[in-house]
């Protein structure tokens, strides 16, 4: 039977920490160790952990950092201290359902090729009342799952995040590939990087069950925000948002490509992944060019004809926008 480690990082989490710890004790398969990194909390977080360690039926190893590291470096250090062959990441403010460890670890036992497993979660408020959304509604939706059947998941993970650390378990053998974590990739922290690297090297499994109550509250450092950033925007505001997103995504992929080149041992299929990343950068450059053209069209309709026709012939209206419908809109609507 595999040794199971839980890597928990805490920072001023006393309000909800006891509930998270209690949910470990309720597991149908207890962890073999709890490794905790406290990032210089000024509340009672460390005391709560120390008290829990005295009564837990498994070893609890608490390290209090000498200086604040931030969540990504704190997780890197805490993951490095785990001695289990399977590691589960934990936030300080959620609740694990009793079957979480048992169901996630069963996927690894089922196949030696599986390197990463993650589950669904229920999004709840600070009092654990349901917000009537599952995490997969916002991340790993059924549409994405169907698309992943057609091409590799790592191609999706290049562009955005789909795996949340609070739902994740992975084989410890991949630490040498994903550590140290890069710190300057836009919108990519430790859990997204772990998922990308492991999925690029091994199989993954998604357990389509809610195994975590994923708590949202005002005091958390990270969370999931259910909002639409594109509602009620003017034309210029809309294209400014689209361009900002495309540019940030391009920077993200460029920096991932840098990591691939600087750490060739990180990937088994380095050439394939490098080619995929380069192709995505080319696509993003085309998107940026196209959206800049549409954003900067002149007010006079007659002056729009040449750039719109040129863009139609390039094929970008059909590849990026809605083809002739978008071109007609650009020609005739008021700007």
Please report whether residue 149 resides in a domain.
yes
The answer to whether residue 220 scores a pLDDT higher than 80 is: no
The answer to whether residue 62 scores a pLDDT higher than 50 is: yes
Looking at 184, 215, 246, which one is the last position of a domain? 215
- 156 and 275 part of one domain: no
**Residue span of the structural domain in which 273 resides:** 235-332
> What is the pLDDT at residue 266?
86
Contact 204, 115 (CB under 8 A): yes
The answer to whether residue 224 scores a pLDDT higher than 70 is: no
The percentage of residues in the chain with a pLDDT greater than 70, rounded to a whole number, is: 96
Contact 145, 206 (CB under 8 A): yes
CATH code, domain with 158: 3.90.550.10
What backbone phi and psi angles, to 5 degrees, belong to 49?
A: -65, -45
- 189 and 253 part of one domain: no
Q: How many CA atoms lie within 13 A of 147 on its CB side?
A: 10
- 133 and 239 part of one domain: no
Confidence of residue 226 (pLDDT cuts 50, 70, 90): very low
- 183 and 71 part of one domain: yes
* Domains in the chain, number: 2
The answer to whether residue 238 scores a pLDDT higher than 70 is: yes
- 279 and 192 part of one domain: no
Neighbours of 323 (CB within 10 A): 13
Give per-residue pLDDT as tens, 164-208.
999 999 999 999 999 999 999 998 999 999 999 999 999 999 999
- 185 and 57 part of one domain: yes
Please report whether residue 114 resides in a domain.
yes
Looking at 215, 248, 278, which one is the last position of a domain? 215
Average pLDDT, the chain: 94
- 10 and 149 part of one domain: yes
- 27 and 170 part of one domain: yes
Contacts of 255 (CB under 8 A, 6+ apart): 182, 184, 185, 186
- 161 and 255 part of one domain: no
pTM of this structure: 0.92
For residue 9, CA distances in Å to 20, 73, 88, 213, 221 come to: 12, 10, 12, 17, 12
Confidence of residue 229 (pLDDT cuts 50, 70, 90): low
Give per-residue pLDDT as tens, 78-111.
999 999 999 999 999 999 999 999 999 999 999 9
Query: Helix (H, G, I), strand (E, B), or coil: what is residue 114?
Result: strand
- Mean pLDDT for the stretch of residues 25-54: 98
Please report whether residue 229 resides in a domain.
no
Query: Helix (H, G, I), strand (E, B), or coil: what is residue 299?
Result: coil
What does DSSP assign to residue 117? Answer: E
> What is the pLDDT at residue 104?
98
> What is the pLDDT at residue 228?
52
Neighbours of 28 (CB within 10 A): 11
- 181 and 305 part of one domain: no
Contact 3, 86 (CB under 8 A): yes
Looking at 149, 181, 215, which one is the last position of a domain? 215
- 209 and 311 part of one domain: no
- 75 and 203 part of one domain: yes
Distance CA 251, CA 77 (A): 26
The answer to whether residue 5 scores a pLDDT higher than 50 is: yes
Please report whether residue 220 resides in a domain.
no
């Amino acid at each position: 039977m595999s040794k199971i480690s839980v890597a928990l990082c805490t920072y001023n989490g006393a309000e909800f920490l006891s509930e998270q710890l209690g949910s470990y004790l309720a597991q149908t398969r207890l962890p073999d160790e709890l490794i905790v990194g406290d990032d210089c909390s000024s509340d009672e977080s460390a005391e709560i952990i120390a008290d829990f360690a005295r009564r837990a039926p498994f070893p609890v190893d608490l390290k209090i950092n000498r200086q604040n590291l931030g969540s990504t470096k704190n997780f890197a250090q805490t993951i490095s201290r785990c001695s289990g062959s399977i590691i589960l990441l934990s936030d300080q403010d959620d609740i694990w359902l009793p079957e979480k460890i048992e169901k996630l670890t069963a996927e690894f036992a089922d196949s030696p090729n599986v390197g990463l497993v993650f589950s669904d979660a229920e999004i709840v408020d600070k009092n654990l009342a349901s917000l009537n959304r599952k995490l997969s509604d916002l991340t790993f939706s059924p549409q994405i799952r169907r698309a992943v059947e057609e091409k590799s998941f790592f191609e999706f993970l290049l562009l955005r995040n789909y795996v949340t650390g609070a739902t994740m378990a992975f084989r410890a053998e991949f630490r040498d590939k994903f550590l140290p974590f890069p710190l300057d990739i836009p919108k990519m922290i430790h859990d997204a990087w772990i998922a990308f690297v492991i999925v690029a090297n091994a199989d993954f499994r998604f357990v389509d069950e809610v195994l975590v109550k994923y708590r949202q509250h005002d005091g958390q450092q990270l969370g999931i925000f259910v909002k639409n950033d594109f509602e009620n925007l003017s034309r210029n505001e809309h294209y400014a948002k689209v361009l900002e997103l495309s540019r940030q995504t391009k920077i993200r992929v460029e920096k991932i490509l840098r990591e691939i080149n600087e750490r060739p041992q990180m990937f088994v299929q380095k050439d394939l992944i490098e080619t995929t990343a380069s192709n995505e950068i080319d696509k993003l450059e085309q998107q940026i060019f196209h959206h800049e053209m549409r954003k900067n069209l002149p007010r006079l309709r007659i002056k729009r004809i040449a750039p719109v026709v040129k863009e139609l012939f390039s094929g970008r209206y059909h590849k990026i926008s809605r083809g002739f419908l978008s071109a007609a809109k650009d020609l005739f609507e008021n700007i």
